[in-house]
Amino acid sequence: MPNFVIAYYGGNQPSSKEEGMAQMEKWKTWVNDLGDTIVNPGTPLPVSKIVTSNSVEDDTDPNSMKGFAVVKADNIEAAIEIAKSDPFLENGGTIRVSQMMEM
């Protein structure tokens, strides 16, 4: 069964500690419900830089990649269904789903 990256972009920060805790509980429930399908439940990316051959800059784009998870699925359609259930979407963010290729 192939692995798929669920990449998180944009989204709104919680407006309070309580809202953040509620979001975390939704995420924990989502991960637990996925069972063996989850390979990596989530890796936040709090700081990113844009590197070119000429420069290194802070990535200040509000829609930059915020993190990723890795799931197992039979095909990309099944991985999309998993992504559609991700509570990150409730925070105004978007998700990109990509199949990972074994090298």
pLDDT value of residue 102: 86
78 close to 6: Cβ distance less than 8 angstroms: no
Distance, CA of 82 to CA of 65 (rounded, Å)? 19
pTM for the whole structure:
0.90
Residue-range domain boundaries for the chain: 3-99
Residue 67: strand, helix, or coil: strand
Distance, CA of 102 to CA of 77 (rounded, Å)? 19
Superfamily the domain 3-99 falls into: Dimeric alpha+beta barrel (3.30.70.1060)
Burial class (CB within 10 angstroms; exposed 0-12, middle 13-18, buried 19+) of 85: exposed
48-72: burial string, b at 16+ Cβ within 10 Å, e else: eeeeeeeeeeeeeeeeeebbbbbbb
37-92 pLDDT tens trace: 999 999 999 999 999 999 999 999 989 999 999 999 999 999 999 999 999 999 99
